[in-house]
Structure formats: structure tokens, C-alpha cells
């Protein structure tokens, strides 16, 4: 029985990543230089061949490198979907999510979206890409490159759905902030009103003291004190005669 497998529709590095996964349960992207040298090799190969994919990690990755990494993982997802290798599809998606979580500029997405639109049917991948796209949709809509992307209908709907949820979330947050701001303004207004009333009452009481020499009820010398009208209200006090507790206010003079 022949051990040769003919794989059409996928580039050689993608096929090698799939084989690496089948042997080891994982795959590592080869460096760009290594991929270019591999692409010049013969397209027929033995299934038992093993390929080393180790690469030296760079301290920082450029935007182009991020795009190439994402494209490679997206193609791995596509071949996993084609051959129904669910574990490989999930692994590729997790690697894509890691790259996206690092934070990517809007310029990364047009090529990514085009690749997903033309080669991928995985709903989970579409959801991941749509969620990342929605985060920078304002910048993307101003991009001529983005406008030129020929979107798959399903991916377009998914992006719109995520954008809709994002708008709803922002609207909810805005409503919450507005309610809190209104409550704060109302509280400040009540405090200001209470302080103003207390100051007015104090001034009125001082005027009463200046005009009162004896209690209007017991006719004794006006030896007075202030009494809080309510235990719950700190802004309302009454002026009383200490001898008979008669209440005195400006209108009683």
C-alpha cells in the first residue's frame, strides 16, 4: 500500500503543520526564511518524513510578522476543518486568539478578513476574528484597503452582530454613567439646599435673639438654647426659652 498522500488546495507549510500536529499534538510556525526555502522543495513527500519547525523567538514582532502568523494559523484551521481534525482546529484558534490578544492595529485586519472570507468555514474562527475586528471598526471603516475586502456573507453578518452587541454594551455603560451622574447632581443639590436653609435659619435666629429681651410666654429674661427639630434632619433647629421651652421664631416676635 502506498504511503503517499496527495493534498491539494493547501500550501506545503500548512500541510507540514498538520503532519507535525498528527505526530506530536502540536505545531510551531517556521520562520519566514525557512518557509521560503521549503516552498522551493518538491511538492511530493513521504508521510513518514518529519520536519523541524523550531524558530528563534524575536523580542518584538513587526506588523507584517503578526499578519503572516495569523494567516498561517488561519490556514491551519482551514486544513483542519477540511480533514475534520477538530483538535487541530481548536489549537489553531487558540494560537490565533493569543496573537490577537496582544493587541493588533487596524492595518492587520484587511488581509486576515480576506483570508477568512475565502478559505474558512469554522464558525468559532469567524467569531474570534469578528470580535477582534469590532474593536477597531472605527479605524477600519476609514481604510480604503478594508473597503476593498470581498467579505463572505456569513462573516459580514458575524461582524455586524458583534458590533451590535458592542454598541449595546456601550449604550448600557453610558446609561449607567448618566444615571449615576444624575443621582450625584441630585444629591449635591439636596446638600446645597440643606446648607442654604441651615444658614438662613441661623441668621433668622440671630436676628430673633437681637430683638428679644424676654420670653413672650413666661416673660422671664430670655435665656435660650437651640433644639434640633428632628433626629433625622441636621438642617432644622428651633430657638426655645430655657425656662418654659417656648418656641421663638421671627414670626413670633
- DSSP alpha helix (H) spans, 102-152: 109-119, 123-135, 137-140, 144-147
Q: What percent of the chain has pLDDT over 70?
A: 76
Nearest of 122, 59, 57, 58 to residue 96 by alpha carbon: 122
Whole-Å CA distances, 50 to 20, 47, 154, 187? 7, 8, 37, 72
Q: Output the nine-digit C-alpha cell for 224.
A: 435660650
Nearest to 240 by CA among 219, 220, 226, 221: 226
pTM for this model (two decimals): 0.62
Per-residue pLDDT of 122-161, as tens digits, reads 999 999 999 999 999 999 989 898 989 888 889 899 999 9
What are the E-state strand segments in the chain? Answer: 224-228, 237-241, 247-248
pLDDT in tens, 44-102: 444 434 333 334 444 456 888 889 999 999 999 999 999 999 999 999 999 999 999 98
Amino acid at each position: 500500500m502506498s504511503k503517499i498522500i496527495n493534498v491539494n488546495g493547501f500550501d506545503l507549510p500548512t500541510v507540514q503543520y498538520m503532519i507535525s500536529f498528527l505526530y506530536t499534538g502540536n505545531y510551531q510556525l517556521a520562520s519566514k526564511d525557512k518557509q521560503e526555502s521549503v516552498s522551493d522543495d518538491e511538492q511530493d513527500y513521504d508521510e513518514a518524513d518529519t520536519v523541524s519547525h523550531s524558530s528563534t523567538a524575536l523580542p518584538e514582532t513587526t506588523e507584517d510578522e503578526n499578519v503572516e502568523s495569523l494567516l498561517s494559523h488561519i490556514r491551519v484551521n482551514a486544513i483542519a476543518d477540511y480533514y475534520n481534525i477538530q483538535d487541530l482546529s481548536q489549537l489553531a484558534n487558540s494560537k490565533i486568539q493569543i496573537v490577537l490578544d496582544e493587541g493588533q492595529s487596524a492595518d492587520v485586519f484587511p488581509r486576515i478578513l480576506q483570508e477568512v472570507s475565502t478559505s474558512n468555514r469554522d464558525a468559532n474562527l469567524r467569531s474570534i476574528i469578528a470580535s477582534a475586528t469590532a474593536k477597531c471598526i472605527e479605524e477600519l471603516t476609514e481604510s480604503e484597503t478594508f473597503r476593498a475586502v470581498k467579505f463572505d456573507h456569513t462573516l459580514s453578518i458575524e461582524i455586524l452582530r458583534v458590533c451590535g452587541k458592542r454598541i449595546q454594551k456601550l449604550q448600557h455603560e453610558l446609561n449607567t454613567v448618566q444615571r449615576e451622574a444624575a443621582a450625584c447632581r441630585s444629591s449635591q443639590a439636596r446638600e446645597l439646599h440643606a446648607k442654604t436653609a441651615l444658614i438662613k435659619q441661623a441668621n433668622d435666629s440671630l436676628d430673633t435673639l437681637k430683638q428679644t429681651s424676654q420670653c413672650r410666654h413666661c416673660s422671664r429674661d430670655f435665656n435660650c438654647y437651640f433644639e434640633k427639630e428632628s433626629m433625622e434632619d441636621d438642617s432644622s433647629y428651633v430657638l426655645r426659652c430655657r425656662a418654659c421651652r417656648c418656641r421663638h421664631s421671627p414670626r413670633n416676635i
